[in-house]
Structure 1
Amino acid sequence: MTVLHLADEGEAADLAAFLSRLLHYDRGAAVRLQAAGTALAVFGRPPSFEVLAIRAVRLAKPYENGLDVTLDVTVSAGELLESVDESAATAVVPEAVTGPPWAGVLPPRGGWQPVPGLPAPDALRAMVGAGIAEFRSRTQELAPERRTRTELDRIGREIWSRAVGDTHLPVRAVHAAQSLGFLRAGAEPALLSCGAWLRLRTPYGSIAVRRAGLGALDVSVR
């Protein structure tokens, strides 16, 4: 049994909240865990947003049972959530699962460069609110016979694929950051790029997206 000793109760609570939000969008969600020393990265992909969500977690000490160098495994998000003990600030790593395709395609670890043009946090939140309002308005205006899943998805893609300001970041990345609890009040987000990847980073987590889509041929598989 591999036990993760988190830095404190707050880290355990934030990890549990992140996993709960992922499971809200996908009850069968998997997460890829990568850890070295006292740093743990948790990767997930909420299907509604088509982005990679990354939550960094601080560990109090390296994990037990001989895994003292690195940890890299894909597990059930639900089983990991069940193992989180907030009062003890621990979590047990579940048995590995067969990872979904996205789990083999992760953003680079280094080489990120700042990208200018990201609007202020309040403007980002307003952008998401406007997108939600527009989606509701446009779908409510549809005649009943046109209110199909295909048409709803088309409207959603049109709205959430728009660029944020003068950047190439799609609005869906900001929507995901807000929905997953990364874009909290007081958080100062930054936009970074590395190759084909864009990353919206906040103190509470990051959203990464490929400009060419996750299925592009120039992926880095790890």
Structure 2
Amino acid sequence: MTVQTRLDLADQREGADLAAFLGRLLRYDRAAAVRLQAVPGPDGGVLAVFGRLPLGESAVLVVRTVRLAGPVAAADLTVSAGQLLESVDESGAALGLPAPVTGPSWAGLLPPRSGWRPVGRPPVDRVVGEVRSAVEEFKRRVAEVPEHHRSRQAIDAVADEIWSRPLGAAADLPLRAAHAAHTIGFLRPGAPLAAYRAGAWLRLDAPAGSVLLRTAAAPGAGLGLSPLR
């Protein structure tokens, strides 16, 4: 059986956007891995790129979808984010698939594909304002911690207290989801946002991608292995 090692992108912008997404992930974790799922379609298909963004002692999943030019074979593998970034050919609108790696535990437990119910459509300008205010509070409170007590644990405790608060623009979501969307580059002026829940999972959608997080363990929740659409 022939294994597909190269994917053609729909256009150069897809490559640039994917490179920016991977670069942001690697800024937080130089050894980051991403799970890839290529889904064939009538116009070439879609590649879903799942990553993990650590924020304080917690983390969220982020997913960027990339439009592909056909033909595309179905694929599902976990690869090094750094090697994937190196394989992006923006000028040639193409992407190489690195050799699979042993994935981290989160890569085996993706959100469900169906069963999502809407819980709000927060205005992006208000969400950005809340995130910026929270970031300023975080910086101020960390600066107020005596230097000899400013450990990683102390900093993470401040972060977790702030980012666990409900988002004013969509109370079902914690601020952490909006912070992750801002950090990964999904919050853009005028971008429509939508919030959803499925069991223990929460999701914030933007045109550039989605942020997903689990609120609690729930039997049977989050066992889907297909990309969100």
Structure 1 length-normalised TM: 0.91
C-alpha distance in 2 between matches for 1:149 and 1:194: 33
- Write the letter of the residue equivalent to 1:91: L
Unaligned runs of 5+ in 1: none
Cα deviation, 1:63-113, whole Å, max 9, x if unaligned, reads: 3xxxx3x10000001101101101111011000000000000101122222
Structure 2 length-normalised TM: 0.88
The corresponding residue for 1:62 is: 71
Question: Is 2:84 aligned against 1:77?
Answer: no
Q: How does 1:127-166 map to 2 (within 5 A)?
A: 127-165=130-168
Cα drift, residue 217 of structure 1: 5.7
Segments of 4+ in structure 1 off by > 6 A? none
C-alpha distance in 1 between matches for 2:67 and 2:47: 6
Q: How does 1:1-222 map to 2 (within 5 A)?
A: 2-37=5-40, 38-48=45-55, 50-63=59-72, 68=73, 70-116=74-120, 118-165=121-168, 167-212=171-216, 218=220, 219-220=222-223, 222=225
C-alpha distance in 2 between matches for 1:80 and 1:147: 35
Check whether the contact 2:111–2:224 (CA below 8 A) recurs between aligned residues. Answer: no
SS in 1 for 2:171: coil
- Write the letter of the residue equivalent to 2:66: V
- Write the letter of the residue equivalent to 1:130: S
C-alpha distance in 1 between matches for 2:71 and 2:164: 40
- What count of residue pairs does the alignment treat as equivalent? 214
CA RMSD of aligned residues (A): 1.6
Give aligned-pair identity as a percent.
Answer: 53
- Write the letter of the residue equivalent to 2:18: L
Greater mean deviation of Cα atoms: 141-150 or 83-92: 141-150
Q: Which structure carries more strand by proportion?
A: 2
Cα drift, residue 39 of structure 1: 1.1
